[in-house]
Chains A and B, each alone.
Chain A
Amino acid sequence: MSDTQTPEKADASASDATAGKHKNPVSYGALAVGFFMILVFAGIVGLVAASFFDAVPEITWPSFLVESDTAVRKLGLMVFVVLLFVGVMALLLFMVDSRKRVPNWTVAIAFVGPALAALLLGLIWPGISTLIQSFYGRSPWYDPERSEFVGMANFSTLFTTPEFQVVLRNTLIWVILVPLVAVGLGLLYAVLIDRTRGEAISKGLIFLPMAISLVGASIIWRFVYEYRAPARPQIGLLNQLLVWLGLEPYQFILNVPWNTTFLIVVMVWIQTGFAMTIISAAIKAIPDDIVEAARLDGVSGLRMFRYVTIPSIRPALLVVWVTITMTTLKVFDIVRTMTGGNFQTSVVANEFYTQSFRQFDFGLGAALAVLLFVIVIPVVVYQVRQLRISEEIR
Chain B
Amino acid sequence: MTTSNPGIPVEPSVEQKRPSGPRKLTKAEIRASEAKTRLTSPWATGIAIIMAILWTIPTFGLLITSIRPQASIQQSGWWTWFTNPEFTLQNYETVLTGSSTAFGTYFVNTLVITIPAVVIPITIALLAAYAFAWIEFRGRDLLFVAVFALQIVPLQVTLIPLLSIYVDVGLAGSFWTVWLSHSIFALPLAIFMFHNFMKDIPRSLVEAARVDGAGHVRIFFRVLLPLLVPAVAAFTVFQFLWVWNDLLVALTFAGGTPNVAPLTVRLAELSGSRGQDWHLLSAGAFVALIVPVLIFLFGQRYFVRGLLAGGVKG
Contacts and interface: CB of A to CB of B under 8 A. Distances in A.
Touch between chains A and B, by CB atoms below 8 Å: yes
Interface string B282-309: 1011101100110011001001111111
Contacts of A98: 215
A123 B158 contact: yes
A217 B293 CA distance: 15
Q: State the main secondary structure of chain B at its contact with A.
A: helix
A383 B162 CA distance: 29
A206 B51 CA distance: 8
Q: State the main secondary structure of chain A at its contact with B.
A: helix
Interface in B129-155: 130-132, 135-155
Interface size band for B:
35 or more
Given A215-B267, A287-B306, A349-B154, A189 B48 contact: yes
Q: Identify the 9 closest CB pairs spanning chains A and B, nearest first.
A: A216-B285, A122-B184, A285-B308, A312-B311, A111-B131, A97-B217, A115-B128, A288-B6, A56-B168
Given A126-B153, A130-B157, A209-B59, A216 B76 contact: no
B149 A191 contact: no
Contacts of A314: 311
Contact of A54 (B62, B158, B168, B297): B168
By CB atoms of chain B within 10 A, which of A119, A206, A290, A305 has the most?
A119
Contacts of B168: 50-51, 54, 56
A51 B158 contact: no
Nearest to B55: A206
Nearest to B57: A237
Contact of A195 (B30, B119, B220): B30
Given A284-B303, A284-B305, A219 B310 contact: no
A291 interface: yes
B311 A129 contact: no
B7 A289 contact: yes
B189 A289 contact: no
Contacts of B197: 315-316, 319
Interface string A96-128: 111000101101101110111011011111110
A223 B58 contact: yes
A313 to B, nearest CB: 7
A288 B7 CA distance: 6
Nearest to A61: B170
B255 interface: no
Contacts of B289: 208, 211-213, 216
